[in-house]
Amino acid sequence: MAFTMHVDIVSAEEAIFSGKARMVFAPAVMGEVGILPRHAPLLTQLRPGEVRVQTEDGTEDFFYVSGGMLEVQPYTVTVLADTAVRAKDIDEAAAIEAKQRAEQALKDRKSDIDYARAQAELIEASARLQAIQHLRKKTGR
């Protein structure tokens, strides 16, 4: 009987595949790699493409990934798939956008936190809640 290894394909939003496999093909950035059991530890980035898993009974499963990471240990293979399309400038644009949103919203900002006021406001809010709970207890609800 051929060696098998454990394969997990997960993305940040869900688990996609988990099971035993004889061989895994993945689209690494340097070219497609085929992983057999007892492969040396490997860590590589994936480009968009197809991950193929040859399961124990010889059938092949296909999964599309839009990039991600591949980790190989002798008896486990983990594909950490991306859910978002990413490239350096897309990420950069997203960062700038988030920053601008903050700046826009904070045009009249004060640079230092008014701790006393913040504290007072929070204390008031929690006191209000406590009072409600207290009242409820008193009326036996």
Buried b (16+ CB within 10 A) or exposed e, 7-25: bebebeeeeebeeebbbbb
DSSP 98-140: HHHHHHHHTTT--SS--HHHHHHHHHHHHHHHHHHHHHHHHTT
Residues 23-62: x/- map of binding to other proteins (CB under 8 A)? Answer: -----xxx--x------xxxxxx-----------------
**Which tokens in the block code for residue 83?**
């859910």
Among 4, 6, 10, 61, binds other proteins (CB under 8 A): 10
Buried b (16+ CB within 10 A) or exposed e, 81-92: bbeeeeeeeeee
Q: Give the separation between CA 68 and CA 49, rounded to whole angstroms.
A: 10
Are the CB atoms for 21 and 7 separated by under 8 Å? yes
Is residue 13 near other proteins by the rule CB under 8 A?
yes
For residue 99, the minimal CB distance to other proteins (Å) is: 5
* Residue whose entry in the numeric block shows the structure tokens 């492969």: 39
Q: Which stretch binds other proteins (CB under 8 A): 48-56, 57-65, 92-100?
A: 92-100
For residue 84, the minimal CB distance to other proteins (Å) is: 3
Among 1, 15, 59, 89, binds other proteins (CB under 8 A): 15
Is residue 2 near other proteins by the rule CB under 8 A?
no
Residues forming contacts to other proteins in the complex (CB under 8 A) are 8, 10-15, 18, 28-30, 33, 40-45, 68-69, 71, 73, 78, 80, 82-86, 91-99, 101-102, 105-106, 109-115, 117-119, 121-122, 125-126, 129, 136, 139, 141
